[in-house]
Amino acid sequence: MAKAVVQLESQDRIEVLANQRLSVNGCHELRELILVFKSSHGDDWKAWPFPQGQSHSEILLRQFLLEQRGEWNPPYTHEEICHCRAVPTREVEKAIIMGAHTPQKVSRWTSASTACGTCRPDVEKMISYFLSSGTLSGKEPVSK
Ligand code: FES
């Protein structure tokens, strides 16, 4: 099984406990989302559908469910995504989760793609992947 934790900074955290129940810590929005899914889809989180929205909580829960199913396959996995500005891929991922849903916003928040621009297509693919509903393969071309 994939790793049992998705975590944003040290705040929002979804974890599978030894008894296979979920432990959720973090903001009110994330805890509310988990409660809504429990009441709508039951306690068996493994059978939950993917959240369809683009809030940070929905993106995190979608990532968690995909990881647990072994289906989390982002299109860019190297440690550093922007070599001109030395921006780690994780920084771009966090920016996307927190609301940088356009390449321009990712550039403003992280400085990625603000020099030669070579990394911009990878940033665009990451945005599309994180905002997709769990059906977009990391290997598929991303239309604009
Ligand atoms: S590699 Fe990102 S701007 Fe050059």
**Residue from 78, 80, 82, 92 to probe ligand 1 pocket by mutation (most atoms less than 8 Å from CB):** 82
Q: Answer whether residue 142 is part of any domain.
A: no
| Structural domain boundaries enclosing 60 | 5-68
Position 101 in a domain? yes
Closest CA to 60 of 108, 113, 22: 22
Query: Closest ligand 1 atom to the C-alpha of 116?
Result: 4
Nearest partner of 23 among 41, 1, 2, 38, judged by Cα: 38
Structure tokens at 116: 């030669």
Q: Does 138 fall in a domain?
A: no
Q: Ligand 1 pocket by C-beta < 6 Å: which residues?
A: 82-85, 112-119
- Tokens standing for residue 4: 């049992």
Q: What is the pLDDT of residue 138?
A: 44
Q: What pLDDT shows up at residue 11?
A: 80
Q: How confident is the model at residue 17 (pLDDT cuts 50, 70, 90)?
A: very high
Q: Measured between alpha carbons, how far is 7 from 63 in angstroms, rounded to an integer?
A: 10
63 and 113: one domain? no
- Whether residues 114 and 64 share a domain: the answer is no
**Residue from 76, 92, 118 whose mutation best tests the ligand 1 pocket (most atoms within 8 A of CB):** 118
CA of 142 to the centre of ligand 1 (A): 19
Count the domains in the chain: 2
pLDDT tens digits, one per residue of 66-122? 999 999 999 999 999 999 999 999 999 999 999 999 999 999 999 999 999 999 999
From 18, 40, 68, give the residue that closes a domain: 68
pLDDT score of 109: 96
CATH code for the domain of 102: 1.10.10.1100
Supply the mean pLDDT for the chain.
Answer: 88
